[in-house]
Structure 1
Amino acid sequence: MDYVLLKYLHVIAAVFLFGFGMGSYLYLIAAHRTGDARVIAAVARMVVRFDARITTPAGFVQLLTGFAMVRLTGMDWTVGWLLAALLIFFGVGALWLPVLMLQKRMQAKAAAAAGTHAALPAAYARLYRWWLWMGVAGFAGMFLMVLVMVSKQAPWQWF
Structure 2
Amino acid sequence: MTYLFLKYLHIIAAIFLFGFGMGSYLYLIAASRTANPQVIAHVARMVVRFDAWITTPAGFIQIITGYLLTRLMGLPLTTEWVLTSLVIFLCVGSLWLPVLVLQTRMQRMALAAADSGMMLGEAYRAVYRKWFWMGVAGFSGMFVIVLMMVMKMTPWQFMGMLG
Determine the C-alpha separation between the residues in 1 that align with 2:6 and 2:72.
10
Q: Which residue of 2 aligns with 1:118?
A: 118
Determine the C-alpha separation between the residues in 1 that align with 2:147 and 2:69.
18
Give, as a single letter, the amino acid of the residue that structure 1 aligns with 2:137. A
Contact 1:14/1:62 (CA < 8 Å) preserved in 2? yes
Q: Which residue of 1 aligns with 2:41?
A: 41
Aligned pairs (5 A) from 1:4-19: 4-19=4-19
**1:6 Cα deviation from its structure 2 partner:** 0.2
Determine the C-alpha separation between the residues in 1 that align with 2:21 and 2:146.
14
Task: Report the TM-score, using the length of structure 1 for normalisation.
Answer: 0.97
Q: Which residue of 2 aligns with 1:102?
A: 102
Task: Report the TM-score, using the length of structure 2 for normalisation.
Answer: 0.95
**1:13 Cα deviation from its structure 2 partner:** 0.1
**1:52 Cα deviation from its structure 2 partner:** 0.2
Determine the C-alpha separation between the residues in 2 that align with 1:37 and 1:71.
49
Give, as a single letter, the amino acid of the residue that structure 1 aligns with 2:111. A
Give, as a single letter, the amino acid of the residue that structure 1 aligns with 2:112. A
What do you get for the CA RMSD once the two structures are aligned? Answer: 1.0
Q: Which residue of 1 aligns with 2:89?
A: 89
**1:155 Cα deviation from its structure 2 partner:** 2.2
Determine the C-alpha separation between the residues in 2 that align with 1:103 and 1:32.
11
**1:35 Cα deviation from its structure 2 partner:** 0.5
Give, as a single letter, the amino acid of the residue that structure 1 aligns with 2:102. L
Q: 1:76-132 deviations in whole A, cap 9, x for unaligned? A: 111111011101111110111111110000000000000000111321110000000
Give the fraction of aligned pairs with identical amino acids, expressed as a percent. Answer: 64
Q: Which residue of 1 aligns with 2:76?
A: 76
Determine the C-alpha separation between the residues in 1 that align with 2:121 and 2:48.
20
3-state SS in 2 of match to 1:24: helix
Count how many residue pairs are aligned between Structure 1 and Structure 2: 159
Contact 1:113/1:121 (CA < 8 Å) preserved in 2? no
Determine the C-alpha separation between the residues in 2 that align with 1:154 and 1:29.
31
